[in-house]
């Protein structure tokens, strides 16, 4: 079954893609929603330079769509319709794990476009999932996090040792509640590691971000 991948560029969407392939789905196009000026992605704050490297390494075309939060759902549905027409896809793969409102929204937008919502990671244990991601070769760096974690975690590779530090801070090791976001720099699906631009670290509204140069 040909599928759209809801591609954030982080570990969960990457692992969901890997699992979808194992389950017989064929990733056909990547979709990423950007901020209104189109410079960085929503939530993860990744530039097109980074996302295009993901696309090239996966050998899957990428569509980035700038949008405001107010127009997000409308733009998402319109884009699904466009991709369904252009690529003859039947499903959309998402990387969510267990947040029911997220699943409800994903099923809503897929229903509006007569596509199947596929969540390969759904209802799995968060700690076991992140351990499996690391064991299966996903290498990712933290690109944003809350101030409970702190700015020093930015740019760190997610390892088993780092996972233990997060648990000690009562931080969910998957960051499923938005505690942190990652960027995948290598995985078994990539032809080669991606190159990250230089960056600075900033704190804005109680959240820490990498700002790409």
Tell me the per-residue pLDDT of 150-165, one tens digit each, with 9 for 90 and over. 999 999 999 999 999 9
| Among the listed residues 26, 22, 6, the one whose alpha carbon sits nearest the alpha carbon of residue 95 | 6
Q: Give CB contacts under 8 A, 24+ apart, made by 79-88.
A: 79/31, 80/4, 80/31, 80/109, 80/110, 80/112, 80/113, 80/115, 81/113, 83/4, 83/29, 83/31, 84/113, 84/114, 84/115, 86/29, 87/2, 87/4, 87/28, 87/29, 88/2
pLDDT at 43: 81
Helices (H) and strands (E) in the chain, counts: 6, 9
Number of Cβ within 10 Å of residue 111's Cβ equals: 12
Task: Judge contact between 190 and 58, C-beta under 8 A.
Answer: yes
pLDDT at 192: 96
CA 124-125-126 angle, 5° bins: 110
Mean pLDDT, the chain, integer? 96
Count of all residues that appear for the chain in the document: 213
Q: In a 3-state reduction of DSSP, which class is residue 201?
A: strand
Q: What is the pLDDT of residues 97-135, one digit of tens each?
A: 989 999 999 999 999 999 999 999 999 999 999 999 999
Would the pTM count as exceeding 0.75? yes
What's the rounded mean pLDDT across residues 21-27?
Answer: 98
């Amino acid at each position: 079954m040909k599928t759209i991948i809801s591609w954030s560029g982080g570990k969960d969407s990457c692992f969901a893609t890997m699992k979808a392939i194992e389950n017989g789905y064929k990733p056909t196009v990547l979709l990423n929603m950007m901020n209104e000026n189109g410079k960085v992605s929503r939530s993860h704050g990744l530039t097109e330079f980074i996302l295009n490297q993901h696309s090239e390494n996966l050998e899957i075309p990428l569509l980035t769509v700038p949008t405001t939060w107010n127009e997000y759902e409308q733009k998402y549905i319109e884009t699904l319709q466009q991709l369904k027409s252009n690529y003859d896809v039947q499903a959309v793969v998402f990387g969510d794990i267990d947040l029911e409102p997220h699943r409800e929204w994903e099923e809503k937008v897929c229903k509006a476009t007569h596509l199947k919502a596929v969540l390969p990671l759904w209802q799995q244990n968060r700690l076991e999932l992140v351990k499996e991601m690391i064991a299966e070769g996903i290498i990712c760096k933290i690109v944003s996090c809350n101030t409970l974690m702190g700015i020093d975690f930015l740019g760190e590779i997610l390892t088993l040792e780092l996972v233990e530090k997060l648990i000690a801070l009562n931080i969910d090791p998957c960051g499923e509640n938005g505690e942190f976001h990652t960027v995948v720099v290598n995985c078994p699906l990539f032809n080669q590691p991606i190159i990250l631009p230089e960056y600075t670290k900033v704190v804005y509204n109680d959240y820490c971000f990498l700002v790409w140069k």
